[in-house]
């Protein structure tokens, strides 16, 4: 199980508190990684991103647009791009069923709320 988690982590191997790549680069690499990851790793990653997106949605309902301040880029558009791109990447590698549907629904709801803010 540790191998699955490590396979989908956004933290570079060997990272020990040193500098990370810039946010856009890390996210692009993570999205690209979906294409080369095995099915089990992608299921773990997809479940994790569904959980993250649900937390964002719940926080948006509680805190409104202020929630974006907690993110590295402090940008709603960056986060919506990332989660939307991930959903597309998971779909492209054949993800089906509840998890991918839930990610897409949750991202769509965040986008809807953000558009009315």
Total count of residues recorded for the chain: 117
Q: What is the pLDDT of residue 52?
A: 97
Indicate whether 108 belongs to any domain.
yes
Indicate whether 101 belongs to any domain.
yes
Indicate whether 17 belongs to any domain.
no
Rounded Cα distance between 13 and 67, Å, is 29
pLDDT band at residue 95 under the 50/70/90 scheme: very high
> Where in the sequence is the domain holding 87, given as residue range(s)?
2-8+22-115
In the chain, the percentage of residues whose pLDDT exceeds 70 is: 85
Q: Kind and range of the H or E element at 110?
A: helix 98-115
Rounded Cα distance between 78 and 51, Å, is 18
Q: What is the pLDDT of residue 55?
A: 98
The domain total for the chain is 1
Predicted structure pTM score: 0.87
Per-residue pLDDT reduced to its tens digit, 5-44: 666 566 555 555 667 889 999 999 999 999 999 999 999 9
pLDDT over 80 (residue 106): yes
Indicate whether 78 belongs to any domain.
yes
């Amino acid at each position: 199980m540790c191998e699955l988690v490590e396979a989908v982590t956004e933290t570079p191997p060997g990272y020990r508190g040193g500098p990370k790549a810039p946010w856009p680069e890390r996210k692009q690499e993570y999205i690209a990684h979906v294409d080369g990851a095995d099915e089990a790793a992608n299921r773990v990653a997809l479940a994790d991103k569904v959980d993250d997106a649900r937390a964002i949605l719940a926080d948006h309902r509680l805190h409104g647009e202020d929630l974006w301040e907690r993110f590295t880029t402090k940008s709603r558009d960056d986060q919506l791009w990332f989660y939307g791109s991930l959903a597309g990447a998971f779909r492209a590698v054949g993800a089906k069923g509840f998890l991918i549907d839930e990610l897409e629904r949750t991202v769509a709801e965040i986008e809807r709320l953000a558009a009315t803010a």
